[in-house]
Amino acid sequence: MRHFLTLADFSKEELLEMLDLAVKIKAQTKRREFVSYLEHQTLGMIFEKSSTRTRVSFETGIYQLGGVGLFLSANDLQLGRGEPLKDTARVISRMVDMVMIRTFEHSKLEEFAAYSKVPVINGLTDSYHPVQLMTDYMTMMEYDKADNPIVAYVGDGNNMAHSWLMLAAIMGFELRIATPKGYECDEAIVAKAKTLAEKSGATLLFGNDPKAAVEDTDVVTTDTWVSMGQEDEKEVRLKAFEGYEVNSAMMALAKEDAIFLHCLPAYRGYEVSEEVFEGYADVIFDEAENRLHAQKGIMVWLDRHRES
């Protein structure tokens, strides 16, 4: 049995198998052809943080695959009153067929997975957001940007930046990360990505100059400057990230046919200007829709790799 905790748990070939499934199931869905790949299966969805896309895409996705999703807010579970996570994992995983968790520390997700009898999917932790990156890569494929692209990530060295690092390191493309000083990526995660990059031939570049990072790139992306759980730091962060807004002047430095991606939610006037956001809205909302399709590919793949 395999869990989907980080992209680094998989080979390039395995991730491409999941995306192949996603592309096939997306085409079927567009034809209103609903194949019950996961008939009678239940997906438990534990949320310790807010969500729009992750909740709606997983719940709709499992339903369209012939199963059902259970929305489990941590506040309403006994977990919120102190029931140990490992007990919650042992109970829930005896009843459902797959679990998706959105939580804070990545170690909590790992603990849950260690005690779970069924595949566990990372729906975002403080360290990683791998389902979003599968979606972003699927969108790059659709926009003809997956063949040896140069990608710039401008902003916070957060869970999105870390997942971009893993994606680039596994797929073997060039990723340039520009962060303000003091907001760089986690050193251990960078080291892990560099090891993977040696095998794939990926180029991973780090710096504090967003304009230099964006120059001649195929894909430009960013994320909020204030992630969930960092609300108290908002004022300090907004100051530290001055000059990091992806605006028209910055996009003009990228290749003429470059695309802009954003995992959403987007904060206009901060990490992205209104003009850039609306200018690339078609791509951004294709990307948002692809959460539904990419995650179906992941769930069906995990189901096919259960212990027999």
For binding to ligand NVA (CB under 6 A), which residues are involved?
Answer: 124, 129, 158-160, 223-224, 227-228, 263
Residue among 54, 122, 179, 222 that touches ligand CP (CB under 6 A): 54
User: Taking CB within 5 to 8 Å according to partner kind, which of ligand CP, ligand NVA, none is near residue 127?
Assistant: none
User: Taking CB within 5 to 8 Å according to partner kind, which of ligand NVA, ligand CP, none is near residue 52?
Assistant: ligand CP
Question: Which position among 64, 97, 223, 295 bears the catalytic label?
Answer: 223
Active site residue 185: no
Residue among 9, 14, 35, 51 that touches ligand CP (CB under 6 A): 51
The minimum distance between CB 37 and ligand NVA, in angstroms, equals 26
Burial class (CB in 10 A: 0-12, 13-18, 19+), 74: middle
Residue 144 CB partners (closer than 8 Å, separation 6+):
none
C-alpha 274/C-alpha 283 separation (Å) is 15
Q: Which is nearer to ligand NVA, 29 or 262 (CB)?
A: 262
Active site residue 87: no
Distance separating the N- and C-terminal Cα atoms of the chain: 9
The minimum distance between CB 284 and ligand NVA, in angstroms, equals 13
Residue among 127, 132, 159, 222 that touches ligand CP (CB under 6 A): 132
Active site residue 262: no
Are 66 and 25 in contact, with CB atoms under 8 Å apart?
A: no
Q: How far is CA 276 from the centre of its chain?
A: 21
Give the interface segment with ligand CP, choosing from 48-56, 80-88, 168-176, 298-306 (CB under 6 A). Answer: 48-56
- Residue 28, interface with ligand CP (CB under 6 A)? no
The minimum distance between CB 49 and ligand NVA, in angstroms, equals 7
The minimum distance between CB 226 and ligand NVA, in angstroms, equals 8
Query: Residue ranges of the alpha helices (H) in the chain?
Result: 12-30, 53-64, 85-95, 106-115, 130-142, 159-171, 187-200, 210-214, 234-240, 248-251, 274-279, 281-304
Burial class (CB in 10 A: 0-12, 13-18, 19+), 287: buried
Active site residue 102: yes
Active site residue 263: yes
- Residue 203, interface with ligand CP (CB under 6 A)? no
Q: Roughly what angle, to the nearest 10 degrees, separates helices 281-304 and 53-64?
A: 50
Q: Which residues bind ligand CP (CB under 6 A)?
A: 51-54, 124, 132, 263-264
